[in-house]
C-alpha cells in the first residue's frame, strides 16, 4: 500500500474520513411508544403497558389540523391501517376494521398549540373511557411529519380509585395522502 502523508495509508484515510462524516451526521429519530396506564377502564381494573405507536394528521369539525396518536399494547398493522385511512378518509375507519379489535390502546389528538385533547382508553372486549381534560401534556414536536411528547396524570378517578397514566410517544406520521376527517 502506498503511504499518502503523515504515515496514513489510503485505506486508513478512507476509514478515518468515513468515521468523521458518520460522527457528525444527525441521528435519525426512531419511532417509540412507551408508558403505562394503571386504573379502571369500565368495570375492569387494568395495568397496561404500551409498546407500539401509529400517528397521522387529521382535521377536526372546525377544519383545524391535529395529529392523531394511537399507542397500543400489541404490535399494530401499520400498513393495513394506512391503507384503510387512504381508502375511507375518516379516522373511524380504524375502529370499524380489525386493526384495533384485539388490543388495548390509547388514542388522543394533539392540537396545533401542542395540547393533548380527546384522550381515550380502550380495553377489549368493549371497555372504554374518555379522560379528556385531565393531566399534563409536554409535546416537544408536532409537525406535519413528526410528533413527540409525554402525557402524565396521577389524578384519582371520580369514584376515588387510584389511577396513574404515563404515556411517552415519538413517531414519524404515516403518509395517508392528506388529511382525514376526525
163 and 84 fall within a common domain: yes
37 and 116 fall within a common domain: yes
Query: Do you know the residue count of the chain?
Result: 182
59 and 106 fall within a common domain: yes
Residue 2 has pLDDT above 80, yes or no: no
The pLDDT value recorded for residue 30 is 76
Residues 6+ apart with CB under 8 A from 70: 53, 54, 55, 76, 94, 100, 105, 106, 107
> Is the separation of the CB atoms in 76 and 52 below 8 Å?
yes
The dihedrals phi and psi of 79, each to the nearest 5 degrees, come to -65, -45
Is the pTM value of this prediction over 0.85?
Answer: no
Terminal Cα distance for the chain, rounded: 64
As given in the structure block, the three cell numbers for residue 106 are 390509547
152 and 137 fall within a common domain: yes
pLDDT in tens, 82-103: 999 999 999 998 987 788 988 9
18 and 44 fall within a common domain: no
Residue 125 has pLDDT above 80, yes or no: yes
45 and 131 fall within a common domain: yes
CA 140 to CA 63: how far, in whole Å?
23
Residue-number span of the structural domain to which 3 is assigned: 1-29
The pLDDT value recorded for residue 18 is 44
119 and 42 fall within a common domain: yes
Residue 130 has pLDDT above 60, yes or no: yes
pLDDT in tens, 16-28: 444 444 444 334 4
Amino acid at each position: 500500500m502506498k503511504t499518502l502523508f503523515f504515515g496514513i495509508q489510503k485505506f486508513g484515510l478512507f476509514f478515518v474520513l468515513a468515521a468523521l462524516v458518520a460522527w457528525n451526521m444527525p441521528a435519525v429519530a426512531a419511532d417509540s411508544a412507551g408508558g403505562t396506564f394503571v386504573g379502571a377502564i369500565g368495570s375492569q381494573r387494568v395495568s397496561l403497558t404500551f409498546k407500539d405507536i401509529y400517528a397521522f394528521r387529521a382535521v377536526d369539525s372546525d377544519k383545524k389540523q391535529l395529529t392523531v396518536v394511537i399507542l397500543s399494547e400489541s404490535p399494530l398493522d401499520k400498513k393495513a391501517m394506512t391503507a384503510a385511512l387512504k381508502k375511507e378518509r375518516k379516522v373511524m375507519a380504524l375502529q370499524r376494521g380489525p386493526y384495533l379489535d384485539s388490543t388495548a390502546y390509547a388514542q388522543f389528538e394533539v392540537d396545533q398549540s401542542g395540547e393533548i385533547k380527546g384522550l381515550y382508553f380502550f380495553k377489549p372486549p368493549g371497555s372504554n373511557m374518555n379522560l379528556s381534560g385531565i393531566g399534563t401534556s409536554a409535546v416537544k414536536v408536532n409537525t406535519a411529519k413528526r410528533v413527540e411528547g409525554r402525557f402524565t396524570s396521577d389524578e384519582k378517578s371520580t369514584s376515588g380509585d387510584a389511577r396513574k397514566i404515563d404515556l411517552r410517544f415519538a413517531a414519524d406520521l404515516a403518509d395517508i395522502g392528506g388529511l382525514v376527517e376526525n
